Amino acid sequence: MIDNQPLTLGSLLRQYGSKFVITWGMLALEVALLALIPLFLGFTIDALLKEPSATALIDIFMLLTALIAVSVTRRAYDTRAYGTMRIHLSTALVKRSQHKPVSMLSAQVGMGRELVDFLEEQTPQLINSVIQVVVSMVILFGYGLSLGVAGVMAVSAMIAVYALFHLRFFRLNAGLNAIAEEQVTVLQSGDTTAISKLFTRRRESEVKISDTDSLMYGLIYLIMFSLILANLWSASLIPAVSVGAIFAIISYSWELVDASVELPATLQQWARLTEIQERINR
């Protein structure tokens, strides 16, 4: 039982392994179907330009129907599965933390729920991003070596940029979590000066996190938009390239940008959760 284990992402994964197999299996299928849409749209465009016919739409129609069915089923299952995890984790945290001040315990219960939030929200985004990056890379390499190499270079540069900011995100989130643990006690004191100082400190921490986030994403967008322009130029140089092929190349280049931008957000949340796991298990 989770009552007898450290309250971490790892313990949640071990305790509820079967639920994760089901939801992440459906997620992987959903993302794979989603990743195929630009390719099938490219095929459909070329087929319609060659011979306008409703039969050209059959494949893309079947793909979209399967995507909707899997997506709706997964979301209905997730609500029930992750809701159960939140109840068990919050109860276990309260049981083992009776000695802590109410202010600290209240804040940590909220932080603990973020572990489940990460598994429900950020982890699917991460799986989505990884699958989209892999599929986009494979298809871009299929259209041309230079297209794929440009994608690899862009993703590598993006990861390097995030690495420069990782420790700063950890320290800033530690400060924000410490403030959250103090909040109930300060509010109960009724001291307006202390309350004002607390909220001022919270605002300063949030501003620092936001400024760091903005700078990081500015650099990442610069890298990724350079990829779009480079691959657009490279696609125009491919001999006898079709309209559908150019559409697919640009679509998958954009998919690569979109998926890659999600990775730093997930890694940033991971930095926050690393600090939270240390805090709630003290």
Cα separation, 232 vs 230, whole angstroms: 6
Query: What integer pLDDT is reported at residue 3 of this predicted model?
Result: 62
* Nearest alpha-carbon partner for 256 in 140, 118, 117, 120: 140
Cα–Cα distance, 93 to 156 (Å, whole number)? 39
- pLDDT by residue, tens only, the chain of 282 residues: 566 677 777 888 888 888 889 988 898 888 888 878 877 887 777 777 777 777 767 888 888 888 899 989 998 898 888 888 888 877 877 777 677 777 677 777 777 787 888 888 878 877 777 877 888 888 888 888 888 888 888 888 888 888 888 888 888 888 887 887 777 777 777 778 888 888 888 888 888 888 888 888 888 888 888 888 888 888 877 787 777 778 778 888 887 777 777 777 777 777 777 777 777 776
**Paired tokens of 48:** 């319609």
Report which of 236, 257, 249 is spatially closest to residue 39, judged by C-alpha positions: 249
Give the pLDDT of residue 2: 64
> What is the model's pLDDT at position 110?
75
Q: Report how far residue 100's alpha carbon sits from residue 7's, in angstroms, rounded to the nearest whole number.
A: 16
What's the confidence (pLDDT) of residue 88?
81
Tokens of 123: 């982890």
All domains in the chain, ordered by first residue: 2-280 (1.20.1560.10)
The DSSP annotation for 156-180 comes to HHHHHHHHHHHHHHHHHHHHHHHHH
